[in-house]
Structure 1
Amino acid sequence: MTVQTLAGKEIVIGVTGSIAAVETVKLIHALRRKGAIVQPVMSAAAQVIIHPDALTYASGRPTITRLSGMVEHVTFCGDGGSASLLLVAPCTANTIGKIAYGIDDTTVTTFATTAIGSGMPVLVVPAMHHSMYRHPAVIRNIKTLESWGVGVAGPRIEEEKAKIADIEEIVLRCERAVLGRPLAGKKVLVTSGACREPVDDVRVLTTRSSGRMGQELALEAYRLGAEVTIVHNDTLPCVQNVPVETSGEMREAVMKYLKKGSPDLYISAAAISDFAPKKVEGKIASGKPVTLDLSPLPKLIDSVLKCKTRVIAFKIGRTPLPEAKALLARGAWMVVTNTPESMGAATGSYRVLTKKTKTGKPIAGTKGEIAALIWQEILSGMKKTGVS
C-alpha cells in the first residue's frame, strides 16, 4: 500500500518539448498513487511529442493547451491559487531560459511566471542533450532559478544526454516541496539494514534485515525537509549515501561523521552485527562439520550515546521492553521496539517509547506508514521539548 503523502495536494505539471515528455504519463500516475490531484499543462512543442489526450487520460482532467479568458494560470498559480506546486517536467533549455528572463510566450512559461510571482513552490526537471546542459547560459539560468527558491531536480547524465530524473526522485522532491519542511535546517543521520561479517572469501554472517525500515525513515526525513545521511549497503535517491558492509565499517563511518559535528537526530535502525567470526582465507571446504568462533563486537549505540545528539534507538526481541527502558535510562531520547517477525517483512508492529511512557505507543502498518508515524512522534516530542 502506498502512503498518501500528497493527499489533497494539487500539482500542476507543465510539459515542454523534450522527448522525455513521453515519461509524463508514468509520472502523473506516480503522483496520483501518492494521492495528488494533477492538472496537466502543455506547450505547443510538447503536443508534437505526446498527445494531450494521453495526459488527460492519465490525470483525469482536461489538459490545458492554450490560455483562455478563464485565466487558468491565475486560477491555479496566481495569488491564492488552488495549486500546491508547479512542476515543470520535462523542462527544456529553451523553457529554462524563458523562465529565468520572465518571458511567457507559452502556456507553461506563463504558468511559471505567475507561480514564481505568487511565491508558490516551483520545481523544474531539466532534460536535454548534455552539451546543451553544459552551455554557460543554461548553467547561469538554472542558478538564477535556484536563487529565487525554485527547486531543480538535476538530470541523469547518460549516453551524452541530460536525461530526465528518475520518477521516484521527482516524486520525492514534490513531496518535500509541499509538506511544509518541519525539519528544514536539521541534519539527520540514519544507520540501516544488515551488516555482513565475512566467514571466508565467499560466505558471510548476517541477519534477516532488509533495511526497509531505515530507508523509509531516511526518505521521510528528506520529505520533511532534513539534510539526510544514511549509512547502509544500498543507494537511495535525494540523500547522502555512505556505503558499508561490516559492523566495523559502519562504526567507522558513523564516528567519522560525528567528528565533523553532531547531527540533530541519529536514528539507529540498522541490525548491526553483535558477533563476528575470524575470517578464514580462501573457501572453507564443504561436506564436513565446521565450528565458527564468534567474538563479540563493540556496541555502536554506546559510543553515540556519549555524543550530544538526540538518539532514536531500535530494540528487537520477544520481550524488548526492559532493554528499551534501559536504553532510555542511558540517554536515548526515544526507543522503537519490534519483534523478530517484523525483520525483513513488508509490514510490522512496533512500539514507540520515551522516558515519559511506561509501555509505549503501539503503531502498525507497512514500513512506509510506520516511518511516517515514527516521525510524527519525533516531531511531537521535539515540539514538546521546545526544539525549533
Structure 2
Amino acid sequence: MLEGVNVALGITGSIAAVKTVELAHELRRQGAAVRGVMTDSAQGIIHPWAVEFATENEVVTEITGGVEHVDLCGYDGWADVFLIAPATANTVGKIAGAVDDTPVTTCATTALGADTPVVVAPAMHEPMYDHPGVLEAIDTVSEWGINFVDPRIEEGKAKIASEEAIVCDVARAAGDRPLEGEHIVVTSGATSESIDPVRVITNRSSGKMGRAVAKACYVRGADATLVHDGPDVPYAETRRVESASEMLAATRDACSDADALVSAAAIGDYTVEESDEKIRSGQELTLELEPTPKLIDELRTAYPDLPIVGFKTETSGDEAAMIEQARKTLERAGLAFVVANDASVMGSETTRALLVHADDAARYEGTKTGLGSEIADSIAAVLGVESADG
C-alpha cells in the first residue's frame, strides 16, 4: 500500500508514543521508508534508540545547522508525507499558531509551507480533545489541508487511532486520488439465513476481498460504504446486515447517491422460513428452500445507469468456462466488468482471478489486497471514461 513512499514520523509527548515502534514497523511492512522526528517530551516516554531500531534510520531530536526540517519536509525534501502520531493537544495548538519550538512543530510548519501532505493522529484525554481551543485548532489546520485520523473515544480518553486507520490515511494523503469525490458502495462477505433462533444457513466467504476493495477505493480518495456482516472499519462507512434481504435493502439505500457499486458479497442463494423456537435436535427435518433475489439484477432495475462490478465464483477450475459464465452475467445485468474466481480461494489471503470485460479478460494472481487495488484502478478508469463522455 505504501510502496516507495517516504514517511517522516513525528512523535510527541503522549503516552501513546509507546505504540510508535509498532506503527513504524507497520508502515515499513506496507512498503514505506520511515524517518523519526521526536520532541523532548516524547523522548521522556520512548527512547530515540527504539525509534531508530524500528525505522533503521537516525532520529531527529533537535534542529541543528543541518536544517533537518528542510531536508525532511521542505521543497524537494525527502518526505512524501509528514505523519504526526501521536499528536498532543499542545502540538496541535502550536501548529495552528505557527509556533516552531520543537523538531515536530518546525517540521510541520515547513511541510505546510512546502505543500508536503501532513497527517495527524491525535491522542489525549477526552476532556482535552473536547476543549474549544483544541477543536478550533483542529478546524483551523484541517482547512489548511492537514488530514486528521480520528481517535478512538474509549474510557474517557481520545486514544490514538488503529495502525490500520493511520496507514490508510497516510496512503490516501501520499498517493494519487483518482476516485476523489466519488462514492463507492461495496458489498462484502457472507450472508446468513436463520433457520431458528440458533441455526443459520451461510457459506464460507470471509469478506477479505470486499474489504480489500473498499480499502483500495478509500486510499484512492473515494468515500466508501461497506455493506457486510462485520465490524466497523476505519476506511468506510459500515452498514451491518445479516440476511440477503437486509443486504439488498441496505445496498439499495446506500446506492441512492453512489457513483459505483462493487457486488463482492457471497450472498446466499436460498432462504427458509424461520422457526420462532429452537428446533429440537435428533429428528429428521426437511427444509424448504426459497430463492433469494439477485442483488445486481435488483440494483440494475433500481439504478439503470449505475456502474456495477460483479463477482462470479465457480468450482470447475476451467478458465474458459469461468469467462463464459462471467460474460453471461455481465451481459444480463449490464455490468461494467466481472471478477471471476474459483471457490477454492474463499478465506485465503491470496487469490486467482480474471477481470472480465466485454472484449477482453485480464488474469490476476496474488494477494487479495493487490486485487483490490486492481479493481479500484479499473473503477477509476470506468468512471473517468464516463465523465469524459458526459
The TM-score range, normalised by the shorter chain, is over 0.9
Residue 336 of structure 2 contacts residue 382 of structure 2 at CA under 8 Å; is this kept in 1? no
Which amino acid is the alignment partner of residue 371 of structure 1?
A: G
Q: CA deviation at 1:8?
A: 1.6
1:278 aligns with 2:273: yes
**Is the contact made by 2:323 and 2:354 (CA closer than 8 Å) also made in structure 1?**
no
Of 236, 241, 245, the residue aligned with 1:239 is: 236
User: Within 2, Cα distance between the matches of 1:200 and 1:222?
Assistant: 38
Q: In structure 2, the residue corresponding to 1:189 is in which secondary structure?
A: strand
Once the two structures are superposed, what CA deviation does each residue of 1:78-128 show, in whole Å capped at 9, x if it has no partner? Answer: 112121000011111111111001000111100000000111100111111
RMSD in angstroms over aligned alpha carbons?
Answer: 1.4
Shift of 1:382: 4.3
Distance 1:49 1:301 in 2: 53
More deviation in 298-307 or 43-52? Answer: 298-307
Counterparts of 1:99 and 1:117, CA distance in 2? 12
Q: Give 1:336-355 correspondences, 5 Å limit.
A: 336-355=339-358
Q: Is the 8 A contact 2:225 2:254 kept in 1?
A: no
* Secondary structure, aligned partner of 2:3: coil
Provide the secondary structure at the position in 2 that maps to 1:370. helix
State the AA in 1 paired with 2:77: G
249, 253, 260: which one pairs with 1:252?
A: 249
The structure 2 residue matched to 1:332, chosen from 331, 335, 360, is: 335
Is 1:54 aligned with 2:50? Answer: yes
Q: Which residue identity is paired with 1:341?
A: S
State whether structure 2 residue 372 is matched by structure 1 residue 378.
no
Q: 1:106 is matched by which residue type in structure 2?
A: T
C-alpha change, 1:239 and 1:387, in structure 2 (3 Å) is farther
Higher mean displacement: 373-382 or 154-163: 373-382
Cα offset, 1:59, TM superposition:
0.4
- One of 74, 81, 85 as aligned partner of 1:78: 74
Report the equivalent of 2:324: 322
> Counterpart of 1:225?
221
SS at match of 1:176: helix
Aligned position for 1:363: 364
Give, in whole Å, the separation in 2 of the partners of 1:118 and 1:369. 32
Cα offsets for 1:18-45 (capped at 9, x unmatched): 1111111010000010111101000111
Distance 1:387-1:189 versus aligned 2 partners, 3 A rule: farther
Question: For the residues of structure 1 that align with 2:275 and 2:47, how far apart are their CA atoms?
Answer: 62
Percent same amino acid among aligned pairs? 43
For structure 2, the 5+ residue unaligned runs are none
The Cα shift of 1:369 comes to 1.7
Letter of the aligned partner of 2:156 in structure 1?
E
One-letter amino acid of the counterpart of residue 339, structure 2:
V
Q: 1:144 maps to what in 2?
A: 140
1:7 aligns with 2:10: no
The residue that corresponds to 1:312 in the other structure is 309
Q: Does 1:207 align with 2:209?
A: no
Q: Deviations over 1:317-359 (max 9, x none)?
A: 13333332122223111111111112222222110111122xx
Query: 3-state DSSP class of the match of 2:379?
Result: helix
Cα distance in 2 for residues equivalent to 1:46 and 1:68: 18
**Cα 1:349–1:313, aligned 2, differ >3 Å: closer, same or farther?**
same
Deviation of 1:7 (Å): 1.6
Query: What residue in structure 1 maps to residue 171 of structure 2?
Result: 175
How far off its partner does 1:386 sit? Answer: 5.6
What amino acid is the match of 1:337?
A
**Distance in 2 separating the partners of 1:326 and 1:113:** 56
Counterpart of 1:189 in structure 2: which amino acid? Answer: V
* Matched-pair contact (CA < 8 Å) for 2:184–2:225: yes
Are 1:155 and 2:151 matched, yes or no?
A: yes
Deviation at 1:156, TM superposition (A): 1.1
Tell whether 2:288 aligns with 1:293. yes
Rounded Cα–Cα distance in structure 2 between residues aligned with 1:384 and 1:188 = 16
Task: Output the amino acid matched with 2:373.
Answer: A
SS of the counterpart of 2:19? helix
Whole-Å Cα distance in 1 between the matches of residues 90 and 275 of structure 2? Answer: 60
1:153-173 deviation digits (Å, cap 9, x = unpaired): 111111211111111111111
Superposition deviation, residue 289 in structure 1: 2.1
Distance 1:254 1:377 in 2: 21
Per the TM alignment, residue 381 of structure 1 is displaced from its structure 2 partner at its CA by 4.2
Greater Cα shift, 116-125 or 376-385: 376-385
2:37/2:61 contact within 8 Å kept:
yes
TM-score, normalised relative to structure 1: 0.95
Question: Does the CA contact (< 8 Å) of 2:228 and 2:247 recur in 1?
Answer: yes
Alpha-carbon distance in structure 1 between the residues aligned to 2:280 and 2:357 = 49
| Distance across 1 between alignment mates of 2:291 and 2:89 | 57
- How many positions carry a matched residue from both structures? 380
Task: Name the CA distance, whole Å, in 2 between partners of 1:386 and 1:245.
Answer: 35
TM-score, scaled relative to structure 2? 0.94
For residues 76 and 346 of structure 1, the distance between their equivalents in structure 2, rounded to whole angstroms, comes to 36
Distance (whole Å) between structure 1 residues aligned to residue 227 and residue 384 of structure 2? 27
Question: Bigger shift: 316-325 or 46-55?
Answer: 316-325
